[in-house]
Amino acid sequence: MAFIASHLTQDEEKRDLDKIFKAIDIDGDGNLSKEEVLLGYESHFGIQITEEQVDEMFERIDLDGNGTIDYTEFVMATINEKNLVTNERLLQAFKMFDKDNSGALSYEEIKEVLCFDS
């Protein structure tokens, strides 16, 4: 999901999400704190939410548990799940990994795309 959200979202979707994220990210550190979400929701969306609602939101969205929402977590939570995981996007993601067009993914292909060392 994170790979698709960060690599395969439409340009228009990214522009809109960038604007919203930057508007809410008051200190510009690239992460949304609970306080920023609480304030940003009201100022950007005109909806006041409670601290309890923000806590519930963070439980669902803060996947790495670091107490903030980074851009990828924000995108994954914001884009309609049905639109994020379509067959077309899954196929695009698969093709990005399948470097030799074999129809199967090797450890080396996954390692190359995700840029991690063994």
Provide the terminal-to-terminal Cα distance of the chain, rounded to the nearest Å. 22
Per-residue pLDDT at 118 exceeds 50:
no
Q: Which of 10, 114, 15, 65 is nearest to 23 (CA)?
A: 15
Please report, for the chain, the start and end positions of each structural domain, with discontinuous segments joined by +: 2-84, 86-118
What integer is the mean pLDDT of 30-43? Answer: 91
- Give CA–CA dist 3/31, Å, rounded: 18
DSSP class per residue in 44-61: IIS----HHHHHHHHHHH
pLDDT category of residue 85 using cuts at 50, 70 and 90? low
Say if residues 36 and 51 touch (Cβ distance below 8 Å). no
Cα–Cα distance for residue pair 26/95, rounded to 1 Å: 37
pLDDT at 2 over 90: no
**Which of 112 and 70 is assigned the larger pLDDT?**
70
Distance, CA of 30 to CA of 22 (rounded, Å) = 8
Rounded average pLDDT over 72-101: 72
Which of these CATH numbers, 1.10.238.10, 3.40.50.720, 3.40.50.920, 1.10.3720.10, describes 2-84?
1.10.238.10
pTM for the model stands at: 0.61
